[in-house]
Amino acid sequence: MHAASRIIVGVTGSVAAYKAAELVRRLQARGAQVRVVMTEAAEAFVTPLTFQALSGHPVRGALLDPQGEAGMDHITLARWADAVVVAPASADFLARLRAGLADDLLSTLCLATRAPVYLAPAMNQVMWHHPATQDNVATLRGRGCRFIGPNDGGQACGEVGPGRMSEPAEIVTRILDAAGGALRGEHWVITAGPTREPLDPVRFLSNRSSGRMGFALAQAAAQSGAQVSLISGPVALDTPQGVRRHDVETAQQMLEAVMAVAPEAEVFIGCAAVADVRPARYQPVKLGKAALGESLPLARNPDILASVTALTQPPFTVGFAAETDDLEARARAKLRSKNLDMIAANLVGRPGLGFEADRNELLLLWSDGKEHLGPADKAALATTLIDRIVTHREAIRPSANTGI
C-alpha cells in the first residue's frame, strides 16, 4: 500500500451508509489520509458527526459552502485525491454521475478529479437489474469508473439478489492494491479489434479479429494500476474494469483517436487488426449490383504504429504481427521497419488459437532477443506480456520509468 494515499470517501443515500464508517476506519488503519464528502440524502442515514469524529476533519456536503471552500475549495480537493471512492453509491448517484451533473460537492468532485473513481453500488436488487441502472453502469465503466460489487445476498429490504454493498475490507483491498500497483501513474494506450472500412452505407471490408487479446491487455494493465485508454474497433466485448474506452470504426478514426493520446503515454500497444486498405471511394448511397462492377478500387490506410513511433518522443511501442508462415523473419522485419521496441507475433490459422479464440501463443521479439509465450488463455498471456514489456522497457530504455 502507498503510505501517502489520499482518499476521498463519498457517501450517498443508502441504508448501507453506516458501512462507510468502517471503510473510513479501515483506510486510515492502512495509513491513508481520508476526507469524507456526503450527499444530502446520505445525512438522512448517518450523521456527518460520525465521519467527522472518525476522519478527524469536517465533513463536506454542499458545493457552495463558504467555510469549506475557504479551507480547500472543490477543485483543490479534486486535485488532492489519489482516489475517490463512493461507497455506498445509490442508483440515483450513478444516474447523476452518468448525466454529468455537478449540483453538489460529490458529483462535482467526480467530474473535476483526474484520480480513479471507484463506485461501490448499494441498492435493491430490482433497481440494480433495471435497464436504466445497467445502462448507467455500462456507460460509467466505459468512461473508466471502477466498480466494486455489488455483492449477492440478503438485502435490507428483505429481498435476495445482487445489490448489497461490498464489504469495507474488500473495498480497501481493491483501492489500495491498485494504488500501489507497479504501473501507478502511467498512461497506457492500447488498440484492439478490427477496423471496418465502408464501401457504402451497408457494405464494409473488415477481418476476423475479436478484440479479446487487446481487451485482456487493457484489463491486465489496469489491474496493475495503469490509467488505460483502450481504442477499439467494433467488437462484442464488455469494457474491462477501470479502463477508458473509445470506440471507433475505421483505421482513419483509430489513427486520430490514438494520436490524440499517444504523445502523453508511457506505453502504446497496437493490438488492433487494422485493415491495410479501404475502398478508395465511399459511396453515400447503397450501390446496386450493376454499379458494383467486377473489381474494387482500394486505397492504403495510414500505418498507426509507424505514426506513433515517428513522434518526437514516442512512447515505448509494442506491435503485433499475425502471420500464416515464416513467422519470425516477417515479424522481425516489421519490428525494424516500424521502429518498434517489441513485437508479439502469432501464427494464424491453427484451430483454437489466435483470431476469435480464447487462447493464443505468441513469439515475442525485441532488437536482440526473443521469447515464446503460451499457449495459454489470453488473460494469462496478457499478464505475462505486460510483465515482459515492463522488464524490457527498463533494459532498453532505462530512463523510461524514472521521469529523467
Site for ligand C5P, rule CB under 6 A: 191, 251, 270, 272, 274, 276, 301, 303-305, 319-321, 334
Looking at the Cβ atoms of 77 and 344, the one nearer to ligand C5P is 344
DSSP state, residue 32: -
**H or E segment and range at residue 151:** strand 151-154
> What's the rounded Cα separation, in Å, for the pair 146 and 188?
17
Looking at the Cβ atoms of 112 and 311, the one nearer to ligand C5P is 311
Tell me the closest approach of the beta carbon of residue 251 to ligand C5P, in angstroms.
5
Tell me the closest approach of the beta carbon of residue 231 to ligand C5P, in angstroms.
11
Q: What's the CA angle centered on 112, arms 109 and 116, to 5 degrees?
A: 80
Looking at the Cβ atoms of 92 and 276, the one nearer to ligand C5P is 276
145 given a catalytic annotation: no
> What's the rounded Cα separation, in Å, for the pair 73 and 5?
19
Tell me the closest approach of the beta carbon of residue 332 to ligand C5P, in angstroms.
12
Q: Which three cell numbers stand for residue 304?
A: 498507426
The dihedrals phi and psi of 48, each to the nearest 5 degrees, come to -55, -30
Tell me the closest approach of the beta carbon of residue 274 to ligand C5P, in angstroms.
4
Please choose, from the candidates 335, 331, 358, 370, the residue with its C-alpha nearest in 3D space to the C-alpha of residue 347: 331
> What's the rounded Cα separation, in Å, for the pair 364 and 19?
47
Looking at the Cβ atoms of 28 and 307, the one nearer to ligand C5P is 307
Residue 395 contacts by C-beta under 8 Å, 6 or more apart in sequence?
A: none
Tell me the closest approach of the beta carbon of residue 186 to ligand C5P, in angstroms.
20
Looking at the Cβ atoms of 267 and 305, the one nearer to ligand C5P is 305
Residue 323: strand pairing partners: 347
Residue 278, SS3?
A: strand
Please choose, from the candidates 215, 241, 144, 141, the residue with its C-alpha nearest in 3D space to the C-alpha of residue 379: 215
Please list the active-site residues.
157
